[in-house]
């Protein structure tokens, strides 16, 4: 096993869960510039966390979306944009199909007019 790969500077650090208003003191190597006065009157480094066992749905038994970084909102916005794009493409396809059908109907009427106006040419079959 490699030697000297594990940190040796463990010290007491307070981790604070902002969502639950919960804090706990433990040993850690986490670096921070924030400090807090703990229940014992001593000052300790403070690490703020977004989620802990006090607010995580697995430990609390609640089902809720925990989104501190806007991931769910960004996902919902992407979904809405995709739906809008899909609807716009469907409308564009409908318009193109209607335009094509109108052009085909117009071409059919033009062809019948041309056939009626064109003189008939007599052709003879040549026997071999």
User: DSSP letter string over 8-41?
Assistant: ---EEEEEEETTTTEEEEEEE----S-EEE-TTS
- What pLDDT score was predicted for residue 52? 77
The pLDDT of residue 43 is 92
- What pLDDT was estimated at residue 104? 84
The model carries a pTM of 0.46
Tens digit of pLDDT at every position of the chain (128 positions): 788 888 888 999 999 988 788 898 999 998 889 999 998 999 999 998 877 777 776 667 776 666 667 788 888 899 999 999 999 999 999 999 998 888 888 776 665 655 555 666 677 777 76
């Amino acid at each position: 096993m490699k030697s000297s790969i594990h940190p040796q500077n463990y010290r007491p650090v307070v981790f604070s869960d902002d969502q639950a208003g919960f804090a706990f003191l433990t040993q850690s190597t986490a670096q921070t510039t924030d400090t807090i006065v703990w229940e014992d009157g001593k000052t300790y480094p403070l690490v703020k966390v977004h989620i802990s066992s006090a607010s995580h749905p697995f430990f609390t038994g609640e089902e809720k979306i925990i989104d501190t970084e806007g991931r769910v909102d960004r996902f919902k916005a992407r979904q809405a944009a995709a739906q809008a794009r899909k609807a716009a493409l469907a409308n564009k396809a409908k318009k193109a199909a209607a335009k094509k059908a109108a052009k085909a109907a117009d071409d059919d009427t033009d062809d019948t007019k041309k056939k009626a106006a064109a003189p008939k040419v007599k052709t003879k079959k040549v026997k071999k």
